[in-house]
Amino acid sequence: MPFPNIDPIAIAIGPIAIRWYALAYLFGVILGAGYGYLLLRNQRLWHRGAPPFKAGEIWDFAFWAMLAIVIGGRVGYVLFYNLPYYLENPAQIINTLDGGMSYHGGMLGLMLAAILFTRSKGGNWLSSLDLLGAVATIGILLGRLANFINAELYGAPTTAPWGVVFPTDPLQLARHPSQLYEAALEGLLLFLVIRVATHVFYALRKPGLVAGIFAIGYALSRIAVEFVRLPDAQLGYLYGGWLTMGQVLSLPILLGGLILVIYAATRRENPLRP
């Protein structure tokens, strides 16, 4: 089917243009912080009734979260996806006008920011990672929808009736809308799974459990979609015509998630709480 006629520029005022991609980052943080505020305010959800920090402090953290996502995402892309180019052209490292953000790098930056912020407040940093796991799916959903609007990161050719002909594809073939697959799996579905875990099974009472569920869900979803998503042109497939950098980077996230789930499920008391 043809690509929907959606302008990647959401708002244009004279020479100033605001893209949907930028708005996805902005509203991902704002909506995530709003949902996080509701979670933090509901103390009965948390281990010993103690969230990692006060609900009102989420707005202070949101500022640092935005910086951490952008810086971590860019550094991750430079290191993992195109390091030789940026070593030859270091001035281009700060040029994000043509894209170039890594979700894995942004995730690492966000985790580091959450740990440092929570420690400064005297809270349990594992619970802060749980908070991130509960809210990060909102930003992922919006980000993947923005990828679709930008007609980037699309998939391999397909004969499926929902295949999309992207205007940026030089071959003009119907392709898997892999951005929408990721939005559905890593965003919407994972949000619903974690919502059930936090509000039905009170998973936030076991620090590390929600973070582990998020990591496992994200990694499995990303690995699965990468089988139909085209790899970055400068990297291609890493092994045997199927392994991608996205899958390689998702494996340690999957392992970390399994470790967190096992740790949280088997510990009666968490020694990390001050």
Q: pLDDT value at position 273?
A: 47
User: How many angstroms separate the CA atoms of 3 and 35, rounded?
Assistant: 32
The domain tally of the chain equals 1
Q: pLDDT value at position 274?
A: 42
Show binding-site residues: 144
Residues lower than pLDDT 50 in the chain: 270-274
Identify whether 4 is part of a domain: no
Q: pLDDT value at position 96?
A: 67
Q: Is 96 helix (H, G, I), strand (E, B) or coil?
A: coil
Identify whether 60 is part of a domain: yes
* String of DSSP letters for 103-138: HHHHHHHHHHHHHHHHHHHT--HHHHHHHHHHHHHH
Tokens of 113: 């920011």
Identify whether 271 is part of a domain: no
Q: pLDDT value at position 271?
A: 46
Identify whether 30 is part of a domain: yes
Identify whether 3 is part of a domain: no
For 51-94, the pLDDT digits (tens) are 999 999 999 999 999 999 989 989 988 888 888 888 888 888 88
Structural domain boundaries enclosing 111 = 9-266
User: How many angstroms separate the CA atoms of 199 and 257, rounded?
Assistant: 20
Q: pLDDT value at position 65?
A: 92
Identify whether 153 is part of a domain: yes
Identify whether 2 is part of a domain: no
